[in-house]
Amino acid sequence: MDRENHTTVAEFIFLGLAKEPEVKLLLFAVFLAVYSATVLGNLFIVALVTREPVLHTPMYFLLGNLSFLDFCYSTITAPKMLIGFLARVNTITYGGCLSQIFFFHLIGGIKIFLLTIMAYDRYVAIFHPLRYVVIMSRAVCGGLLSASWIGGFIHSIVQVSIIMRLPFCGPNKLDNFYCDVPQVVKLACTNTFVVELLMVSNSGLVTLLCFVVLFVSYSILLAKLRAGSGVGQSKALCTCISHITVVTLIFGPCIYIYMHPFHSFPTDKAVSVLYTVITPILNPFIYTLRNKDFHTALEKFKRRKVKLTP
């Protein structure tokens, strides 16, 4: 169908997380605090990785990029959600909805590929420690990061191009606080069975396969680390456990959302909040709380700041 002849919906209405004004104000205060902490925490990690020489390693280069992506990921959805808590009706234009879907899946796709790169980085560091700096050189890290951006872009373009072909001629209420493929597809004025299969294969199966690969990879790494001993092994073990925690928090909700048929379930909104708002704030704490290199860099940063203070 020709979208210009059949699309009459000019905007979509978000039903949001609550209807009562008192509850909306409470949620606004809570999520404003969460979003503020997400922005400050992730950008601080980016700044620290950039400024402190002790963190100028491939692992922290990738971690800094992950923090930047978490900042972007949260910013795609959180500001619009906060506006919705204060507005009587929270709307978004058709073009704005497509843009949100594009950037949401662009950043999400890059994060998935970046986490896979981070698993490879840990594999090289543990199994080939003497050649680690050579294998994970700056050029290699830059190339792998560029490949993840290209992969995320292709994934996102596929999502948006499929949505653009659908006719929207009436219903325009999205039962969520942001635009995503499952909710938008349900509003199309046509049979979406084939589209749903394409979406599940593009998002759900790819995410599931990446998760399985990462889970197996980290299981092998953990088995090798547990068989060893020493300070270096203990440090690598803590790093791998942190990575596994982040992978689970990111991939688990994504698999749930994109693997089941596009029908609403009572837990859908809670899962959406988890992986769009909560997970980006958890990552900085997971990676830094028990990380000695970060603590060392933070102490140097504090001492430098004290010296500069008159």
Express each pLDDT in 98-118 by its tens digit: 999 999 999 999 999 999 998
- Rounded Cα distance, 143 and 120, in Å: 14
Instruction: Give the max Cα distance, the chain.
Output: 68
**Do residues 160 and 101 lie in contact, with contact meaning Cβ atoms separated by under 8 Å?**
yes
Average pLDDT over residues 144-173: 90
Query: What residue type is assigned to position 201 of the chain?
Result: S
Tokens of 223: 């088995």
pLDDT score of 296 more than 90: no
Q: Between the CA of residue 57 and those of 137, 154, 180, 249, what are the distances in Å?
A: 9, 29, 36, 25
pTM score? 0.89
pLDDT score of 147 more than 90: yes
pLDDT score of 4 more than 50: no
Q: For 97, left (φ over 0), alpha (ψ -120 to 50), or beta?
A: alpha
pLDDT score of 207 more than 80: yes
Per-domain boundaries in the chain:
3-308
Segment 226-265, tens digit of pLDDT: 766 555 567 777 778 878 888 888 888 888 888 776 667 7
Q: What is the pLDDT of residue 3?
A: 44
Q: What is the pLDDT of residue 232?
A: 59
Q: Read off the pLDDT band of 77 (50, 70, 90).
A: very high
Q: Measure the CA angle with vertex 263, ends 260 and 266; round to 5°.
A: 95
Segment 284-294, tens digit of pLDDT: 888 777 677 88
Q: Read off the pLDDT band of 1 (50, 70, 90).
A: very low
**Do residues 196 and 36 lie in contact, with contact meaning Cβ atoms separated by under 8 Å?**
no
**Do residues 71 and 280 lie in contact, with contact meaning Cβ atoms separated by under 8 Å?**
yes
Average pLDDT over residues 148-162: 92
Query: What residue type is assigned to position 29 of the chain?
Result: A
pLDDT score of 5 more than 50: no
Q: Phi, psi (5° rounding) for residue 21? A: -55, -40
What is the C-alpha radius of gyration for the chain, rounded to an integer number of angstroms?
21
pLDDT score of 41 more than 80: yes
Fold annotation for 3-308 = Rhopdopsin 7-helix transmembrane proteins (1.20.1070)
Q: What is the pLDDT of residue 221?
A: 83
**Do residues 239 and 288 lie in contact, with contact meaning Cβ atoms separated by under 8 Å?**
no
Q: What is the pLDDT of residue 6?
A: 53
- The contacts of residue 29 (CB under 8 Å, 6+ apart) are none
Q: What is the pLDDT of residue 2?
A: 45
Q: In this predicted structure, which of 4-13, 110-119, 134-143, 216-225 has the lowest mean pLDDT?
A: 4-13
Tokens of 221: 């790494």
- Rounded Cα distance, 91 and 118, in Å: 38
Q: Read off the pLDDT band of 305 (50, 70, 90).
A: low
Tokens of 115: 């986490």
> How does 182-215 read in b/e, with b if 16+ C-beta sit within 10 Å?
bbbbebbbeebeebbebbbebbbebbbebbeebe
Per the model's pLDDT, the better-predicted residue between 108 and 202 turns out to be: 108
Environment class of 135 (CB within 10 Å of its CB; exposed 0-12, middle 13-18, buried 19+): middle
Q: What is the pLDDT of residue 62?
A: 92
